[in-house]
């Protein structure tokens, strides 16, 4: 039986119905063009399914963080054009008021037609999960589909409020995201290892404390590693440390040992006095970081140590870069880890988080990964066991509890 307990588009009769589909088209733009269409491509199976089954499809999404509708650089028009190109069919773009302009356009639709409405965050009611705005969105349609995993951890009008007024089901992408991550947590083939990186421990404490209960090993790189090293009494020079979390890291190391989970920390680093592309970078052991230098990437011995563990794993989850991979002198560690994960073709490999996915693309390694998640924050929330309001709001399959 599938671990996914919600109804999906495949459990609904969509023919002839107006269907409001919440997608995550929060894509990067440059001068009015979409520079990475991964998120649009990820939504295509649901959109195609609905068109093929003669639905009238009304797409909605947020894009960036506009302050108001005057922030026209956040218009979804370029995403709409990119979608039309990928589908090879017309997608009508509708801006203006949801209750009037969009409502009228929705009423005029015919079967198999597609429209996209303007950036939801142009309306203050979206983030506020305003009752009236949620009602206006619901009034556009007869069925609501959520396919936006990237915002499933937000209780906004288009992810939570709207579902109170319409039959609400999951899209195919959201279902696959939840299924992959849930199966990984509940039924991993062992050894199961997680690799965590990124700048701060503060944002990942919840997920680390959950993963040390489930994984055989947790590998920690990035800026996060230094608070753990400080907890072991190691001097880390000018590296990023969150002093108020040293005690939590100490407790986490003890809890991992009690659970039989190894926490692997870096053994060497690439250090420099400043974070820049022309920095004078050197390699030092982890106990030799000079006071005026900071660790900005894992070193070559750590690359080998971590890659050796990754090669033994049967399930791998990776979230967060090993160093400041945006800068050439500090990209080697992240590249080495991406390569090690992609090389292990005996394992189920799952990668989540904007930076890790960007690194996979940068080093052209995406095809070696079993599942690349479209949601960083949402996957972290799911992993730490936090609620996902965008998922909780959907209708449950008959005979399943939640």
Instruction: Compare residues 132 and 288 and give the one whose CB is closer to ligand AMP.
Output: 288
Q: Is 54 in the site for ligand AMP (CB under 6 A)?
A: no
Q: Does the annotation mark 190 as catalytic?
A: no
Instruction: Compare residues 196 and 348 and give the one whose CB is closer to ligand AMP.
Output: 196
Q: CB–CB of 35/87 below 8 Å?
A: no
Quote the least distance from Cβ 198 to ligand AMP, whole Å. 3
Smallest CA-to-CA distance from 174 within 144, 141, 150, 154 is with: 150
Q: Which residue reads 């039986």 in tokens?
A: 1
Q: CB–CB of 116/93 below 8 Å?
A: yes
Which one among 266, 295, 329, 352 touches ligand AMP, defined by CB under 6 A? 295
Quote the least distance from Cβ 266 to ligand AMP, whole Å. 9
Q: Quote the distance between the C-alpha of residue 259 and its chain's center.
A: 28
Quote the least distance from Cβ 259 to ligand AMP, whole Å. 24
Structure tokens at 4: 């996914």
Q: Does the annotation mark 377 as catalytic?
A: yes
Q: Where are the alpha helices (DSSP H) in 295-393?
A: 300-312, 332-343, 354-362, 376-384, 389-392
Measured from the Cβ of residue 285, the count of other Cβ atoms closer than 10 Å reads 12
Q: Output the DSSP codes for 143-204.
A: EEEE--GGGTTS--TTTTGGGGTS-EEE-HHHHHHHHHHHHHHHSPPSSEEEEE-SS-STTT
Q: Is 5 in the site for ligand AMP (CB under 6 A)?
A: no
Quote the least distance from Cβ 372 to ligand AMP, whole Å. 16
Which span (43-51, 101-109, 192-200, 385-393) binds ligand AMP, by CB under 6 A?
A: 192-200
Smallest CA-to-CA distance from 259 within 303, 222, 208 is with: 208
CA pair distance 33, 81, nearest whole angstrom: 9
Site for ligand AMP in 313-332 (CB under 6 A): 320-321, 323-324, 326
Q: Does the annotation mark 112 as catalytic?
A: no
Site for ligand AMP in 198-217 (CB under 6 A): 198-200, 203
Q: CB–CB of 275/324 below 8 Å?
A: yes
Quote the least distance from Cβ 238 to ligand AMP, whole Å. 10
SS3 390: helix
Which span (14-22, 52-60, 193-201, 208-216) binds ligand AMP, by CB under 6 A?
A: 193-201
Q: Is 69 in the site for ligand AMP (CB under 6 A)?
A: no
Measured from the Cβ of residue 330, the count of other Cβ atoms closer than 10 Å reads 26
Which span (11-19, 117-125, 149-157, 197-205) binds ligand AMP, by CB under 6 A?
A: 197-205
Residue at shortest CB range from ligand AMP: 198
Q: Is 220 in the site for ligand AMP (CB under 6 A)?
A: no
Exactly one of 77, 354, 362, 368 is catalytic; name it: 354
Which one among 43, 91, 296, 340 touches ligand AMP, defined by CB under 6 A? 296
Instruction: Compare residues 177 and 355 and give the one whose CB is closer to ligand AMP.
Output: 355
Please work out the total of residues on this chain that contact ligand AMP, with binding judged by CB under 6 A: 15
Which one among 223, 266, 329, 375 touches ligand AMP, defined by CB under 6 A? 223
Instruction: Compare residues 267 and 397 and give the one whose CB is closer to ligand AMP.
Output: 267
Q: Is 358 in the site for ligand AMP (CB under 6 A)?
A: no
Structure tokens at 154: 């937000």
Q: CB–CB of 222/197 below 8 Å?
A: yes
Which one among 222, 352, 375, 390 touches ligand AMP, defined by CB under 6 A? 222
Q: Does the annotation mark 354 as catalytic?
A: yes
Q: Where are the alpha helices (DSSP H) in 223-299?
A: 225-231, 246-259
Structure tokens at 399: 């005979």
Instruction: Output phi, psi for 40, to 5 deg.
Output: -70, -45
Q: Is 352 in the site for ligand AMP (CB under 6 A)?
A: no
Exactly one of 96, 112, 368, 377 is catalytic; name it: 377
Q: Is 44 in the site for ligand AMP (CB under 6 A)?
A: no
Quote the least distance from Cβ 329 to ligand AMP, whole Å. 12
CA pair distance 366, 177, nearest whole angstrom: 16
Residue 115's alpha-carbon distances to 57, 58, 150, in angstroms, are 6, 5, 21
What are the residues binding ligand AMP (CB under 6 A)?
198-200, 203, 222-223, 240, 295-296, 320-321, 323-324, 326, 355
State the catalytic residues. 39, 200, 354, 377
């Amino acid at each position: 039986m599938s671990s996914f307990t919600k109804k999906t588009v495949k459990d609904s009769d969509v023919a002839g119905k107006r269907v409001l589909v919440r997608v995550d088209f929060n894509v990067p733009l440059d001068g009015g063009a979409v520079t990475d269409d991964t998120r649009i491509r990820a939504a295509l199976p649901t959109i195609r399914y609905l068109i093929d089954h003669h639905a009238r499809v009304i797409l909605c999404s947020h894009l960036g963080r506009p302050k108001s509708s005057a922030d026209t650089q956040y218009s979804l028009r370029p995403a709409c054009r990119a979608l039309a190109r990928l589908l090879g069919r017309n997608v009508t773009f509708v801006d203006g008021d949801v209750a009037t302009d969009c409502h009228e356009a929705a009423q005029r639709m015919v079967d198999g037609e597609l429209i996209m409405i303007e950036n939801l965050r142009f309306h203050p009611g979206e983030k506020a999960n305003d009752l009236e705005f949620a009602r206006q969105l619901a009034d556009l349609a007869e069925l609501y589909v959520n396919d936006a995993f990237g915002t499933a951890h937000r209780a906004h009008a288009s992810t939570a409020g709207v579902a109170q007024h319409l039959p609400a089901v999951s899209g195919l992408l959201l279902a696959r995201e939840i299924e992959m991550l849930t199966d990984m947590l509940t039924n991993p083939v062992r050894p199961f290892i997680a690799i965590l990186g990124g700048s701060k421990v503060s944002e990942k404490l919840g997920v680390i404390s959950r993963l040390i209960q489930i994984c055989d090993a947790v590998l920690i790189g990035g800026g996060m590693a230094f608070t753990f090293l400080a907890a072991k009494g190691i001097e880390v020079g000018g590296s990023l440390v969150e002093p108020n979390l040293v005690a939590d890291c100490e407790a986490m190391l003890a809890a991992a040992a009690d659970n039989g989970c190894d926490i692997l920390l870096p053994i060497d680093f690439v250090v420099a006095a400043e974070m820049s592309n022309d920095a004078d970078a050197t390699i030092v052991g982890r106990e030799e970081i000079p006071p005026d230098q900071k660790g900005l990437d894992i070193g070559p011995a750590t690359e080998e140590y971590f890659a050796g563990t990754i090669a033994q794993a049967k399930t791998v989850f990776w979230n967060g870069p090993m160093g400041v991979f945006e800068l050439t002198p500090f990209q080697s560690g992240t590249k080495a880890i991406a390569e090690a994960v992609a090389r292990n073709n005996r394992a189920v490999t799952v990668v989540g988080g904007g930076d890790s996915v960007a690194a996979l693309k940068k080093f052209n390694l995406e095809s070696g990964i079993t599942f690349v998640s479209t949601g960083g924050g949402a996957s972290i929330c799911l992993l730490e066991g936090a609620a996902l309001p965008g998922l909780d709001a959907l209708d449950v399959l008959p005979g399943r509890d939640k």
